[in-house]
Chain A
């Protein structure tokens, strides 16, 4: 399986994502934001970080960079595109996934382990994963997902919510919501579910000596689904 990770000026989880993808069998290529063409890929990843310093709005300037037109075309033709953290923020700015990401409710950067419940498995990201709750890791300042009531209705009608913040037993309640996201949303799909944006960093959970291993489960499952 071939993957591509885009490096924007200010990306800082691009190497981590490269390490994770390779660890689970992807042949990964790093792609520079100023390039025009994507290499042939089965998966394109927009990594975390602070693209363009998060100036103006998180993800806003990156969404207009040269490579993004190719990424948008790739997504619109059904290609798998995953945005993590800043990558999610870039995705909402392109409109590939609905909604916006606001500053965290308590106005502070949060770096910690959290749990997310998988809401939908009818997609290539979570199909066949034999677990309901994943222990993931977040590190962000603007992860407070928000959308209009109409958008929310549409998202729910189409089953576009990917993962919700919850406790270790999968209970989705306000007290387990780290950043104030509407409906505890931690990740969403586009309508066709080939594009996934999420705040948690699966690439930081790929070794028992790190924060945990549920990221390994995610990547192993993902590559199997793409085969």
Chain B
């Protein structure tokens, strides 16, 4: 087949990109080469629209061992232990084929982590669906949950936390973001940088099939009505093989024969071989006849672009082949020497003794396109004035019950009960709390992780929204008693070719950067997913932040359920009464305009660090951050989980009850303390200039407001727990 401009455009390349390829090669590429360029230069692999902006994120810190640019980020958690983690999107395939899309998303991110030598110890996910009323939502939700469970459960890695939301902007583009944390010894981290000449290049894992060809290109385009036809671009997962691959790789890594290792994820053999060569400033020569194939007569083009799962590429020390092969034989996995490193700085592919590709590595990587896309700055919307007559008829308890049953607030037990969250025997905080917590096996240390996003705030004002998500992650970690260390981000947006969407991206990234800089909460890994768009309709901007923190002694972990009758309950942080963009405004008043709550980074940091001090002094019995639904929703959840009641008294602020209870001002936590500790707690809070309110005392079974209105906790619990189960059983 002779390559021409039309074929290039069918491969998702733009005309000028094709011209650039011809110019770089000083000739017309053949079809295999064109396939390789299209795979490397698509948005998903090249970050061509985002690179310019991602460079501005803070990525360094005392605890950062490896920032963005490797398979995953790595942080130091002392005693020669390090944590490897990353979040990644699998949005497009999950919409087309929810089970396999979600499953391979989980498989892919776990591979990224164990490629670096780390044993995965926890999985998390952030999943977003269209309106519950939309005809596709239920099946997509069921498929995604089954897929995540199917893969993670079989791998024997606990799924310890997550986030699920519903919004009509995801009707045509759901989001499936998967995050994995792994544990490694600091001196046994593996990287993808090839080194040395004539080193054997080894292929291990599953055989290569025809699945997933052009997966990365599919994930770099908007959807239209013919999207169902893209089903063959979705990869098929085999978690059993991945479990074997994990054990085999870790067994090989225990020795000293690996120079570099890279998993075959998006764009398969193409991107893995090129990345290793590029990082090592070397060339790689591959004989494609040596690649283990599942099907007969696969062409070089298909072999290079297949996204078959559960495969790894390794550069080995000379003479270690036999020893390595033995390990893979033991685990019944393919092992093939397919090529070697060369000094040519080119990717040279041979098939049937003919050279089928000959491309300088730098043309694919350094010379890949980078765009400074046009973007539009968002204006801060004007504040709404809530009229008294709009809220006069509302009864706080009725509103609270409605909010607790709201799809975005209700209990997600139906989902996380399908994930094995206790395997590995180290899970000390299960899903349903502020963050999941697992012990570092055999030590007193524990690691907390949470994944958060606030699409509504980001949509309303991207800069504030970007900051807010990082702060929320910070708060969730602090609420369980962990010191926040670093984040990974998954940036889900519409088309970068649309100025507004691009503006949302640029400003969210700016907000994320500002907050993570201020909070000393650097970004160590991440992923960008653009084109979450069907025709002209993009999703709400949804940056998801995966935060990781450390608890030095797991016995000091905090949980959110109220513990004891007679304890005092306080609110840390000032309530200003910000209602715009709150769950209350959007769902009860049906008011969708106005700015999101302001983020004050000084208060976030100060309030959070002061709470950590209180925790260190053993003064906190339970804690929970205030987010969707405001103070009363947070308190109600603590009551439900602890099966205790509370008598709440609204402090004598100027703001009214509705504003006090439902506002979503930032930087706030609810804490439970022993009555006798009140003075000590108040002293520490005052000394650190942290505002606090006394909310009331814990009682049995009922929630009272100002001594009068009341509701039983059972009733609140039913509101909170029944929506999702009912929805899924209909």
Contact = CB atoms under 8 A, between A and B. Distances in A.
Interface of A: 9-10, 12-13, 15-16, 19-20, 48-50, 52-55, 108-112, 137, 139, 141, 201, 203-204, 206, 209-211
A12 B155 contact: yes
Contacts of A54: 154, 240
Contacts of A211: 422, 427, 430
B239 A139 contact: no
A50 B239 CA distance: 10
Given A111-B418, A209-B439, A209-B555, A12 B243 contact: yes
A10 B422 contact: no
A10 B419 CA distance: 17
B559 to A, nearest CB: 11
Contacts of A112: 417
A43 B146 CA distance: 35
Given A53-B239, A54-B154, A209-B555, A12 B423 contact: yes
A33 to B, nearest CB: 11
B554 interface: yes
A10 B153 CA distance: 11
Given A13-B156, A210-B427, A204 B422 contact: yes
10 contacts: A48-B423, A50-B239, A54-B240, A111-B418, A111-B421, A112-B417, A139-B153, A203-B425, A206-B425, A209-B428
B587 interface: no
Contacts of B419: 109, 111
Given A10-B154, A16-B424, A209-B554, A50 B243 contact: yes
A225 to B, nearest CB: 23
Given A13-B423, A109-B418, A209-B555, A53 B428 contact: no
Contact of B153 (A16, A20, A109): A109
Contacts of A139: 153, 420, 422-423
Given A9-B331, A19-B425, A109-B419, 15 more contacts: A9-B240, A9-B244, A10-B243, A13-B423, A16-B424, A49-B156, A50-B156, A50-B243, A53-B240, A109-B150, A110-B417, A111-B417, A137-B422, A201-B422, A209-B439
Contacts of A108: 146, 417-418
Nearest to B437: A209
Contacts of B150: 109
Given A50-B243, A55-B240, A16 B423 contact: yes
A203 B426 CA distance: 11
A109 B156 contact: no
B240 A50 contact: yes
B239 A111 contact: no
B332 interface: yes
Interface residues of B, number: 33
B514 interface: no
Contacts of A55: 240
A52 B420 CA distance: 18
A52 B240 contact: yes
A13 to B, nearest CB: 6
A10 B421 contact: no
Interface of B: 146, 149-150, 153-156, 238-241, 243-244, 331-332, 416-428, 430, 439, 554-555, 557
A171 B427 CA distance: 29
Nearest to A17: B425
B420 A10 contact: no
B444 to A, nearest CB: 10
A190 to B, nearest CB: 27
A88 B426 CA distance: 23
A66 B416 CA distance: 36
Contacts of B241: 53
A11 B149 CA distance: 16
B332 to A, nearest CB: 7
Contacts of B332: 9
Contacts of A52: 240
B154 A53 contact: yes
A204 B417 contact: no
A143 B150 CA distance: 16
Nearest to B154: A50
A204 B244 contact: no
Given A204-B422, A210-B427, A10 B240 contact: yes
A141 B419 CA distance: 10
Contacts of A9: 240, 243-244, 331-332
B425 A12 contact: no
Contacts of A16: 423-425
A12 B332 CA distance: 17
Contacts of A206: 425
Contacts of B427: 210-211
A201 B239 CA distance: 22
A48 B423 CA distance: 9
Nearest to B729: A106
Indicate the member of B154, B421, B557 with the most A CB atoms within 10 Å: B154
B239 A109 contact: no
A201 B240 CA distance: 21
A210 B240 contact: no
Contact of A53 (B238, B416, B420, B557): B238
Contact of B425 (A49, A111, A204): A204
Contacts of A109: 146, 149-150, 153, 418-420
Contacts of B555: 209
Nearest to B413: A112
A55 B244 CA distance: 14
Contact of A210 (B153, B417, B425): B425
A48 to B, nearest CB: 8
Contacts of B416: 111
A12 B121 CA distance: 12
B396 to A, nearest CB: 33
A17 to B, nearest CB: 9
A66 B410 CA distance: 49
Nearest to A206: B425
Contacts of A203: 425
A19 B425 CA distance: 9
Indicate the member of A12, A111, A201, A210 with the most B CB atoms within 10 Å: A111
A210 B420 CA distance: 14
A12 B423 CA distance: 8
